[in-house]
Amino acid sequence: MDLAPTMAVTHSILAPGSLLPVSLDEKRPVIQSEVEVPGSPDVPDEPRYLVVSPYTDQEHLLDLQTVDTENQLLALALVHMTHLREDYATAPYLDTFNWDEVIESLRALARKRDHAWKETSFYIVAFRSQIPPTTVYSDLGVLDKAAHVEATASGGFLK
């Protein structure tokens, strides 16, 4: 008789910001589409993995157990990040995203955990590639996916 937990899928497509709490055998994640705060009393299985990009393979997921509380909270708040303008790829960075909502979400998550924030530094890396007209665009996706795996493996890559 197989007593291992079964895989439950509550949403057919994982979107950035989805959390993947690990089931008891860690090889068969329970997939959830709602964002929940790790360690919150109303979460039966503490989420461990966060989808932070368009890529949903295991090697692309943020393992929330590998970052401190401040980074966990920011990663969860960044789930709400969205662009405010259609020219987001070239517009001024501070005017492009909904930073006010992200910061308010971060404050709410810290309050929910009753977390006393310690001084922490975060860095934003903006990629503004200059693509030559001879570029084979189908190759860009492969290169982007490989670069994302490398950034994730290096640690601390939140979004």
Which residues, 6 or more positions from 51, have their beta carbon under 8 angstroms from its beta carbon?
Answer: 14, 15, 16, 17, 18, 19, 20, 60, 61, 62
The predicted-structure confidence for 29-88, as pLDDT tens digits, reads as follows 333 333 444 444 444 345 789 998 889 999 999 999 999 999 999 999 998 999 999 998
pLDDT of amino acid 66: 92
Q: At what angle do helices 69-77 and 99-112 cross, to 10 degrees?
A: 130
Q: What is the pLDDT of residues 88-114, one digit of tens each?
A: 888 988 899 999 999 999 999 999 999
Model confidence, pTM:
0.67
Residue 16, pLDDT above cutoff 70: no
